[in-house]
Amino acid sequence: MFEIKNLNASIQDKQILKDFNLKVNPGEVHAIMGPNGSGKSTLAHVCAGREEYEISSGSVGLDGINLLDLEPEERAVRGLFLAFQYPVEIPGVASMTFLKSALSAHYKFNGKKELTIPEFMKLIKEKSNSLNISDDMIKRPLNVGFSGGEKKRNEVLQMTLLEPKICILDETDSGLDIDALRLVANGVNLLRSKERSFVVITHYQRLLDYIEPDFVHIMADGKIIETGDKNLALDLEKTGYNDYIEKDI
Amino acid sequence: MPAIKETVEQVLDIDVDNYKYGWSTDLESERAPKGLSKDVIKFISNKKEEPEWMLEWRYDAYERFLTMKEPDWAKVSYPRMDLNDIYYYSAPKNTEGPESLDEIDPEILKTYEKLGIPLKEQEFLAGIKNNIAVDAVFDSVSVVTTFKEKLAEVGIIFCPISEAIKEHPDLVKKYISSVVPKSDNYYAALNSAVFTDGSFVYIPPNVRCPMELSTYFRINDVNTGQFERTLIIADKGSYVSYLEGCTAPKRDENQLHAAVVELVALEDAEIKYSTVQNWYPGNSEGIGGIYNFVTKRGDCRGDRSKISWTQVETGSAITWKYPSCILRGDGSSGEFYSIAISNAFQQIDSGTKMVHLGKNTTSKIISKGISAGKSSNAYRGLVSSHKKAENARNFTQCDSLLIGNNCSAHTVPYIESKNKSSIFEHEATTSKISDDQIFYCCQRGIGKEDAIALIVNGFCKEVLQKLPMEFAVEAQKLIGISLEGSVG
Indicate which of A101, A114, A139, A155 best probes the interface with B, i.e. most B CBs within 10 Å of its own CB: A101
The distance of A41 to chain B (nearest Cα, Å) reads 14
Q: What is the Cα–Cα distance from B462 to A126, expressed in whole angstroms?
A: 30
B454/A88 Cβ within 8 A: no
Residues B244-255, mean pLDDT to the nearest whole number: 71
Q: CA-based angle A214:A216:A221, to the nearest 5?
A: 150
Per-residue pLDDT, averaged over A139-148, amounts to 91
Q: Is B435 in CB contact (< 8 Å) with chain A?
A: yes
Please report the pLDDT score of residue B253 as a whole number: 72
Q: Which residues pair with A228 in a beta bridge?
A: A216
d(CA B75, CA B291): 14
CA distance A230 to A216: 6
Please list every residue in chain B whose beta carbon sits closer than 8 Å to the beta carbon of residue A91: 431, 458-459
- B401: nearest CA partner in chain A: A91
Adjacent-strand bridge partners of B197: B228
Those residues with Cβ within 8 angstroms of residue B355's Cβ, 6 or more apart along the chain or in another chain: B324, B325, B326, B327, B382, B384, B386
Q: What tens digit of pLDDT does each residue of B125-181 get?
A: 433 344 566 777 766 666 667 777 888 889 999 988 989 999 999 999 999 999 999
Q: Which domain holds residue A78?
A: 2-248
Predicted confidence at residue B4, as pLDDT, reads 35
User: Cα(first)–Cα(last) distance of chain B, in Å?
Assistant: 13
The answer to whether the CB of B276 falls within 8 A of the CB of B474 is yes
Do A76 and B434 count as a contact with CB atoms less than 8 A apart?
A: no
Do A185 and A99 form a contact (C-beta atoms < 8 A)?
no
Tens digits of residue pLDDT in B436-445: 999 999 999 9
Higher pLDDT, B231 or B4: B231
Which pLDDT score is estimated for B9? 39
- Asked if A88 reaches chain B (Cβ–Cβ under 8 Å), the answer is yes
What average pLDDT is seen over chain B?
Answer: 83
Is B434–A88 a contact, with Cβ atoms under 8 angstroms apart? Answer: yes
Distance of CA B355 to the CA centre of its chain: 20
CB < 8 Å to A98, chain B: 441, 444, 454
The reported pLDDT for the residue numbered B108 is: 63
Of these ranges, B115-119, B185-189, B193-197, the one predicted with the greatest mean pLDDT is B185-189
pLDDT grade, residue B13 (50/70/90)? very low
**pLDDT average, residue stretch A157-174:** 94
With a cut of 90, say whether residue B271 has pLDDT above it. Answer: yes
What letter does residue A85 receive in the DSSP assignment? Answer: S
What average pLDDT does the segment A157-177 reach?
A: 93
Transcribe B400-463 into DSSP letters: EEE-SSS-EEEEEEEEEE-STT-EEEEEEEEEE--HHHHHHHHHTT--HHHHHHHHHHHHTHHH
d(CA A96, CA A141): 8
**With an 8 Å Cβ cutoff, is B79 touching chain A?**
no
pLDDT of residue B123: 44
| Nearest-angstrom CA–CA distance, B255 and B288 | 8
Residues 6+ apart with CB under 8 A from B364: B333, B334, B335, B336, B394, B395, B396
CB-CB neighbors (< 8 A) of B450 in chain A:
101, 105
CA neighbor of A160 nearest in space, from A209, A103, A86? A103
In what helix (H) or strand (E) does residue B142 lie, and over which residues does it extend?
strand B141-145
pLDDT of residue B87: 83
Contact residues, chain A, for B479 at CB < 8 Å = none
Chain B CB within 8 Å of residue A98 CB: yes
Q: For B313-353, write each residue's pLDDT tens digit.
A: 888 888 999 999 999 999 999 999 998 888 888 899 999 99
- Does any CB of chain A come closer than 8 Å to the CB of residue B390? no
Task: Please give the full DSSP string across B160-216, using - where no structure is assigned.
Answer: EHHHHHHH-HHHHHHHTTSSS-TTSSHHHHHHHHH--B-EEEEE-TT-B-SSEEEEE
The per-residue pLDDT for B142 is 66
Cα→Cα distances B354→A27, B170, B178, B272, B463, Å:
64, 29, 17, 16, 18
> What pLDDT is attached to residue B22?
65
Question: Count of CB atoms within 10 A of residue B431's CB?
Answer: 12
Least confident of A40-49, A219-228, B301-310, B451-460: B451-460
Of the candidates B344, B343, B342, B345, the residue with the CA atom closest to the CA atom of residue B379: B342
Give whole-number Cα distances, B7 to B17, B248, B372, in Å: 19, 30, 11
Cα-only R_g, chain A: 18
pLDDT above 60 for A83: yes
Contact in structure between B269 and B239 (CB atoms under 8 Å)? yes
B360 CB contacts (<8 Å, ≥6 apart)?
Answer: B330, B331, B390, B391, B392
Dist CA A83 CA A172 (whole Å) = 7
Buried b (16+ CB within 10 A) or exposed e, B368-397: bbbbbbbbbbbbbbbbbbbeebbbbbbebe
Alpha helices in chain A (DSSP H): 40-48, 72-77, 95-109, 117-129, 135-139, 148-162, 178-191, 206-210, 230-239, 242-248
A-B C-beta contacts closer than 8 Å: 93
The one-letter code for the residue type at B22 is G
CATH number at residue A20: 3.40.50.300
Q: Is the pLDDT of residue B33 over 90?
A: no
Question: In DSSP terms, which residues pair with B333 in a beta bridge?
Answer: B306, B362
pLDDT above 90 covers a percentage of chain B that reads 44
Q: Which of B437, B458, B460 lies at the smallest CB-CB distance from A88?
A: B437
| Whether the predicted pLDDT of A16 surpasses 60 | yes
Q: Do B1 and A97 touch (CB under 8 A)?
A: no
Query: Which residue, among B477, B486, B377, has the nearest Cα to B433 in the 3D structure?
Result: B486
Does residue B6 carry a pLDDT above 50?
A: no
Band (pLDDT 50/70/90 cuts) for residue B15 is: very low
Q: Using the Cα atoms of residue A231, residue A236, residue A241 and residue A242 in order, give the sign of their dihedral.
A: negative
Question: What local confidence, expressed as pLDDT, does residue A247 receive?
Answer: 65
A97/B contact by beta carbon, under 8 A: yes
pLDDT in tens, B357-383: 999 999 999 999 989 888 999 999 999
d(C-alpha B57, C-alpha B44), whole Å: 13
Q: Does residue A166 have a pLDDT over 80?
A: yes
Of residues A134 and B302, more confidence is placed in: B302
Average model confidence (pLDDT) for chain A?
92
Q: Does residue A162 or residue B472 have the better pLDDT?
A: A162
Residue B295 CA to residue B290 CA, distance in Å, equals: 15
Distance from CA of A97 to the nearest CA of B (A): 9
- A35 to chain B, any CB pair closer than 8 A? The answer is no
Please tell me the predicted confidence (pLDDT) of residue B280. 79
**B337 by DSSP, 3-state: which?**
strand
Output the CA torsion B22→B23→B27→B32 (10° steps): 20
The complex's ipTM works out to 0.96
User: Bigger pLDDT: A16 or B73?
Assistant: A16
pTM of the shown model: 0.81
Length of chain A: 249
**Amino acid letter at B259?**
A
Name residues whose C-beta falls within 8 Å of residue B73's C-beta, 6 or more positions apart in sequence: none
Question: CA separation (Å) from A188 to A60, A99, A169, B230, B321?
Answer: 23, 18, 10, 61, 54
Q: Does B69 touch chain A (CB under 8 A)?
A: no
- Helix (H), strand (E) at residue B44: helix B38-47
In this predicted model, what pLDDT tens digit does every residue of B68-120 receive, in sequence order?
A: 998 888 888 888 888 888 888 877 665 544 455 565 666 666 666 665 555 55
Q: Do A141 and B458 touch (CB under 8 A)?
A: yes
Q: What is the pLDDT of residue B461?
A: 83
Give the count of domains, chain A. 1
Interchain CB distance below 8 Å, B444 and A51: no
Please report, as a single letter, which amino acid is at residue A2: F
Residue B485 has pLDDT above 70, yes or no: no
Q: What is the pLDDT of residues B456-484, one digit of tens each?
A: 888 888 888 877 776 677 677 777 777 76
Q: What does the longest C-alpha to C-alpha distance in chain A come to?
A: 59
Residue B288 CA to chain centroid, in angstroms?
19
Q: Is the C-alpha dihedral spanning B246, B250, B251, B252 positive or negative?
A: positive
Going from the C-alpha of B321 to that of each of A19, A147, B185, B275, B408, the distances in angstroms are 59, 43, 12, 12, 18
pLDDT at B71: 87
Residue in A88, A92, A102 closest to B446 by CB = A102
Q: How far is CA A126 from CA A122, A133, A157, A160, in A?
A: 6, 10, 10, 11
* DSSP class of A87: P
Angle at B399 between CA B373 and CA B70, to 5 degrees: 65
Q: What is the mean pLDDT of residues A68-73?
A: 96
Residue B394 pairs in a beta bridge with: B363, B424
**Per-residue pLDDT for A248 more than 70?**
no
pLDDT of residue B404: 85
Number of other CB atoms surrounding residue B154 within 10 Å = 12
What angle is formed at CA B179 by the lines to CA B174 and CA B180, rounded to 5 degrees?
115
